[in-house]
Amino acid sequence: MAKNKRRIGLLTGGGDCPGLNAVIRAVAKTAKNDYDMEVVGFYDGYEGLILNRYTSLNDSDVSGILTRGGTILGTSNRADPFKYPVLQGDEYVYLDRTSQCLLNFESLGLSALIAIGGDGTMAASAGLQEKGLPVVGVPKTIDNDLAGTDVTFGFDSALQTATEAIDKIHTTAQSHHRVMIVEVMGRYAGWLALGSGLAGGGDIILIPEFPYEIDAICDQVKLRNSLGKTFSIIVVGEGAKPKGGEMVVRRRIENSPDAIRLGGISYQVAAQIEGLINIETRVTILGHLLRGGSPTAYDRILATRLGVEAVHLAAGGETGRMVAVKGNDLSSVPLSEVAGKTRRITAGHPWVKAAESIGLCLGLPTGVPLEKSLST
């Protein structure tokens, strides 16, 4: 790296998704073309900043990566600089490594750090900004649950993958006259389930925001059968739960900032359907398939726009902010307003209203206003 040139840092944190490489490419190219700045890429999210593992990102390094899924820098959803896990003996202890982050940042002569990630990455970034490390955030998650922005890159690509899977499930459901349950990611928000259910022709959609009633689900399946529709497609968000019940936790990761890993609610729903109405029910859990593959055209463009805008903010000294999508335009919001918050679906959202109008079941009794069902 040449001396006397301005430098900015870049990292990708949290779970991977399509579009990360498009942002990396946009940052590197914009920094060079518009500001003659160098870009230092940290490996494996905040782990790289903590351990001072990095590389220079030149034009040749980002050539040809626009269409690739994943991230050339690697990522980690465990490297929280405020609670960094270190194995001592047989147990993990959690250390504050923010001072090391600041030291490494300063030793490289960086003027700002661009952090690409979801809520965990934004929370860590907000904390580092308060400690004096200037950060610009870029919103990424297939869950689309990040506060402060209308949409995150990665969501559209995951939505496309989920929709294609539901399309394929239809043929076997029709052939065998079964109930087919497709479980998607999304954690505590139902954007991916609701969106793919709408786009893929799901008959019943279960999301975390609206705790379901198993009797309402069974009634919908029986109603369809009585109308000669001998199959049903149920799309379930991994964070869905029955009214008065709990989410299904598949496992816990001891040394992760967010230890809970959801998954498996579909098997519970399937067993109840078979037990109550004796209709064969099968489960498909899409899991990490949703994180893979090439980004859609929409995500490639969005990721590029977000990367370009992040460099403009960093170059102008407007740190402590996350680039945000508002309608068709880009703006920015304070990182402090994003950290620790989740954007969830409300009963009045246009997607919910559309689902109700076309007769989809959201796991609650039909003929009863949604707001009333949720309040009882």
For residues 155 and 191, the answer to whether their CB atoms sit within 8 Å is: yes
List Cβ neighbours of 227 (8 Å cut-off, separation of 6 or more).
Answer: none
Catalytic residues: 143
